[in-house]
Amino acid sequence: MDILFVCLGNICRSPLAEGIARHYADKLGLNTKVDSAGTSGWHNGESPCEGSIKVARVHNIDISHLKSRKVSIYADIGFDLLVGMDRANIADLLDLGFEKHKVRKLGEFGLKNADVPDPYHYRNSDGFQSVYKMLDTGIRNLFQEYFEIKINYD
């Protein structure tokens, strides 16, 4: 079960989602590949944004080594599940040609179908903390749905 998290820039939301999901997958010893990418390619090769690195670190997750890359129908066709952060990401993934049944929005996993807001322009850490909480809740619910595992710990 290989999962690709997707946002616009691949510097704020999806690298944070990748870090959280890998943290749980490692703890649980799951045989799953976790990665992230952006629909835009605007930040190719860049590290995650400072707010995402910091909020991850608060939760003992290191995402500082990740590098932004653009999603590709050729390179990423092998993923079983592509999880977009908002409705624009979903529309872009479908436009690129990914199969509809493989494309889901994180908000579908116990978040009342909400879009995860883009925190790129947030000046303080509160926005990143609330994005972290949404991602963490959605990923716990995703793991429960796909792996039938309930995560009750940090």
Residues that bind ligand 4NP (CB under 6 A): 7-13, 38, 42, 118, 120
Q: Which residue has the tokens 């850490």?
A: 125
Active site residue 118: yes
Active site residue 126: no
Q: Which is nearer to ligand 4NP, 27 or 71 (CB)?
A: 71
Q: Compute the distance between CA of residue 110 and CA of residue 127 in angstroms, rounded to an integer.
A: 20
Number of H helices, E strands in the chain: 4, 4
Q: Work out how close the CB of 152 gets to ligand 4NP at its nearest, in angstroms, rounded to a whole number.
A: 28
Q: Name the catalytic one among 2, 12, 13, 22.
A: 13
Q: Which residue has the tokens 């039938």?
A: 148
Q: Name the catalytic one among 7, 35, 86, 140.
A: 7
Query: Which of 42, 46, 51, 52 shows the shortest CA–CA distance to 68?
Result: 46
Q: Work out how close the CB of 78 gets to ligand 4NP at its nearest, in angstroms, rounded to a whole number.
A: 23
Q: Which residues are part of the catalytic machinery?
A: 7, 13, 118
